Amino acid sequence: MLHSSGERDTRTLPKAHLHLHFTGSMRPSTLLELADKYGVHLPDALKGGEPPRLRATDERGWFRFQRLYDIARSCLRTPEDIQRLVREAAQEDVRDGSRWLEIQVDPTSYAPRLGGLSPALEIILDAVETASRETGLGIRVVVAANRMKHPLEARTLARLAVRYADRGIVGFGLSNDERRGFARDFDRAFGIARDGGLLAAPHGGELSGPGSVRDCLDDLRASRVGHGVRAAEDPWLLSRLAERRVTCEVCPASNVALGVYDKAEDVPVRALWDAGVPMALGADDPLLFGSRLAAQYDLVRRVHAFTDAELAELARQSVRGASMPEDVRAGVLADIDAWLAPAA
């Protein structure tokens, strides 16, 4: 399908979505309904409209971002709430052309209201299975540890993730403020996950510079890096990422909203592209940043002058970086070629 400008519609471009956080995937309208249901007061930044500029590169900005996230998460209290969130996230992804979603979640955040850690994870996995069946979207889970907590908790979470690998868990991540602690403190947790067949997908190169990406590679043996954009500051590191085919989960709108870069033009999508680093565009937390998956493709087209052929290659890179069965991957890649083919 072509726009009036002659450009193809990015919503119909088949793609994989590899960087979407659980609570952050919520529709603003759903948050408003749940907050009213549970009597939760929402700050203006969570009531929809213009997404907030959070400036998380300073301590106060990151604290404000975490506070908003915690308030939104407090509105998820029952299995039905979890089911609704996952179903609606899947519907939004399908609308944006996603064929495969790997949603990231720290089940410890939901455990207090859902009966404990294992019950919480089972409720999440049940919701994923149901949403996948109802929408036709392939959905898998990346269990993420919180780097602000003790590394022993991460090891417990890694063992749990491995135990449920046959229920659709494909990866193990590490999120929250990368300026705190050291990646190497979590190396044993990632070793447990890798030994259990899970891919390593920690955050790095967002709030901290290229050193945090190097730590992901050297200490955690990352197969993918959440964000990774600050690697652009180190040409040698870009070469390593390209040579190892480590996919960076790049989230342009998020980078601007959190103040990692002042403007969308500053996000180094072209630098990574030119260096041959595989990328998977992601929406990160649409609830807070105001845009979903297809909008990230629109942004790099509009701001970074990516052609339709280049957008198609970005979609292929997202598919190659996904943990999908090979027959599914082949089918999606063929559909990307069809999207790019000249109109009959």
Quick one: residue 48, left, alpha or beta (phi over 0 = left, psi -120 to 50 = alpha)?
left
Whether 222 and 201 have beta carbons less than 8 Å apart is answered as: yes
Whether 56 and 62 have beta carbons less than 8 Å apart is answered as: yes
- Through-space distance between the first and last CA atoms of the chain, rounded to whole angstroms: 11
Whether 138 and 100 have beta carbons less than 8 Å apart is answered as: yes
Residues identified as active-site: 206
Whether 109 and 71 have beta carbons less than 8 Å apart is answered as: no
Give the C-alpha separation, 142 to 154, whole Å: 13
Within 10 A of 267 (CB to CB), how many other CB atoms are there?
25
Query: Of 11, 41, 45, 15, which Cα lies nearest the Cα of 28?
Result: 45
Structure tokens at 25: 């995937």
Residues in the chain: 344
Residue type, 41: H
Beta-carbon contacts of residue 193 (< 8 Å; ≥ 6 apart): 158, 161, 162, 171, 172, 200
